[in-house]
Amino acid sequence: MRPNRREFLGNAVGGGLSLAFLSQLEPVSAAQARLDPSVVKVDEGIEPTVRLLEETPREKVLEEVAGRIRRGMSYREVLTALFLAGVRNVQPRPQVGFKFHAVLVINSAHLASMSSPDSDRWLPIFWAIDRFKSAQLETQKTSGWRMSSVEESRVPRASKAREAFVHAMDNWDEQAADLAAAAMARTATRNDCFDLFAHYGARDFRDIGHKAIYVANSFRTLDAIGWHHAEPVLRSLAYALLQHDGENPAKKPADADLHWQANLEQLKRVNANWQNGKETGASKQLLEVFRTGDEKTAPARVVEALNEGASIDAVWDSILSGAGELLMRKTGIVTLHAVTSANALHYAFKTVSDPQTRLMLLLQNASFVTLFRRAANEKSLSKELIDGIDKPSDTPALKEIFDAKDKATAARGTLAYLDSGKNAEELMHAARRLVFLKGNDAHDYKFSSAVLEDFYDISPAWRNRYLAASMYYLPNNSAKDNALVERIRSAFS
């Protein structure tokens, strides 16, 4: 008899902690997790729940939230309060990363919840609550920062909001951008705001892609909780996107700004019908460009490929696969962000409405892949290549893949497993379960949500190799269990 999913995952993720205690909670249905932003309405009394998260000590907050859930608090209310508490209490400075991962990871935790069995959907959110409390404490100790109220008398009128926002962002004017972001949230549509924020989120390579990641993740979370919560989020986002060291980049651009200027020139070379290409064979040639080119030559070659009729999918196959290959060649935080920033820029590319913004996102991502290669110290990269992964003679069972202590062995086994026609969903559910049980860092959630989503966006010719490459970072059965799972279990005992 074929095992059901619960039995299957128990066998695939050999040993370790059980998540059976989550059955004590009311399951979060897919309908609750997937919210249409045009119809979602969150209780306007969300402030008390935000303050509950802000004011309850870290050592008690999970137990307090668990009790509220058992008394009827919904997934939507918890997700909304968590995100708003994060943007109000965690400063996205001095870098858009580090402690700010507590905010960046919320969308990834939500994606993990949406993609999980109903019984498991609370666990990523509980993990994110604990992460928020840690970041809140760190912010209080280091700067005491908390988002202040906007100066109402200076908020631009609706007719001037867009112009004011563009002027402020172009001039790296933090105070003016804060006011204009508030005006945009009140008067502009979600799509108009996204086009602008996506544009500015991709314009520089500071913070190794975290600016673009924050743009994608913040808007995606707003899609889940409702646009009427946008104002503090857009203010936080504008503040993050203007992060820089030294002189005002509008007056003296730094190295992190120069490829943007070069790509604005490349934009002029692109044929008008660039979105209509059909040639799919360009991906392999472009992948080689990302292995050797720099932040100027790589996007120039992308332009040539588009002008020669390459399909958009072929270009994205090469970018996403190139990012995944970097992680194979040197597994670490820098190369991990090649993957997560490519995921964010790809989402933005699919979502923006302005064709010129779409094209700049594509060219910027081409530059980013080469910049990540340089940031990882390319002389230290291994010789492993994503299109060079070889398969074992026998197809391993799923448990064998996650039992493998050698990442290259796990990658080869994954490729064999997928190429043999086995169910990719079962492998991905097993991988998510291991992240729930063993993930101890925001990057575990950010990375797993990114690669498991992009698997379906990459063409079939590259899809299995991309997921195989992800095994270099995904946890295996031998990783240490996350003590937080036991604490959550106790909260419901």
Is 493 buried (19+), middle (13-18) or exposed (0-12) by CB count in 10 A? exposed
The domain boundary, picked from 142, 177, 192, lies at 142
Q: What is the CA radius of gyration of the chain?
A: 22
* 219 and 262 belong to one structural domain: no
* 180 and 88 belong to one structural domain: no
CB 349 within 8 A of CB 361: yes
- Backbone angles phi and psi of 310, in degrees to 5: -65, 145
* 264 and 214 belong to one structural domain: no
**DSSP string computed for 453-486:** HHTTTS-HHHHHHHHHHHTTTS--TTSPPPHHHH
The domain boundary, picked from 188, 219, 241, lies at 241
* 179 and 205 belong to one structural domain: yes
CA 380 to chain centre: 26
Q: Is 404 a domain residue?
A: no
Q: Is 162 a domain residue?
A: yes
Indicate whether 152 pLDDT > 50.
Answer: yes
Q: Is 3 a domain residue?
A: no
Residue 36: per-residue pLDDT: 40
* 299 and 359 belong to one structural domain: yes
pLDDT digits (tens, 9 = 90+) for 361-384: 999 999 999 999 999 999 999 999
* 271 and 369 belong to one structural domain: yes
Task: Give the domain range for residue 195.
Answer: 152-241
Is 385 buried (19+), middle (13-18) or exposed (0-12) by CB count in 10 A? middle
pLDDT digits (tens, 9 = 90+) for 27-71: 555 555 444 443 223 346 899 999 999 999 999 999 999 999 999
* 41 and 118 belong to one structural domain: yes
Residue 18: per-residue pLDDT: 53
Q: Is 408 a domain residue?
A: no
Q: Is 426 a domain residue?
A: no
* 233 and 283 belong to one structural domain: no
Q: What is the number of domains present in the chain?
A: 3
pTM of the model: 0.91
pLDDT confidence band for 123 (50 / 70 / 90): confident
* 180 and 229 belong to one structural domain: yes
Q: Is 464 a domain residue?
A: no
Residue 459: per-residue pLDDT: 96
Q: Is 133 a domain residue?
A: yes
* 272 and 371 belong to one structural domain: yes
Packed helices 210-225 and 190-201: angle between N→C axes, nearest 10 degrees: 160
* 259 and 191 belong to one structural domain: no
Indicate whether 321 pLDDT > 70.
Answer: yes
* 171 and 237 belong to one structural domain: yes
pLDDT confidence band for 2 (50 / 70 / 90): very low
Q: What is the DSSP letter of 295?
A: T
Q: Stretch 262-279: mean pLDDT, rounded?
A: 95
282's CB contacts (< 8 A; 6+ apart) are 305, 308, 310, 311, 314, 315, 318
Q: Where are the alpha helices (DSSP H) in 331-377?
A: 333-351, 355-375
pLDDT digits (tens, 9 = 90+) for 76-114: 999 999 999 999 999 998 888 889 999 999 999 998 888
Residue 97: per-residue pLDDT: 80
Residue 488: per-residue pLDDT: 79
482's CB contacts (< 8 A; 6+ apart) are 17, 127, 436, 437, 438, 439, 440
Distance, in Å, from the CA atom of 54 to the CA atom of 159, rounded to the nearest integer, reads 36
Q: Is 108 a domain residue?
A: yes
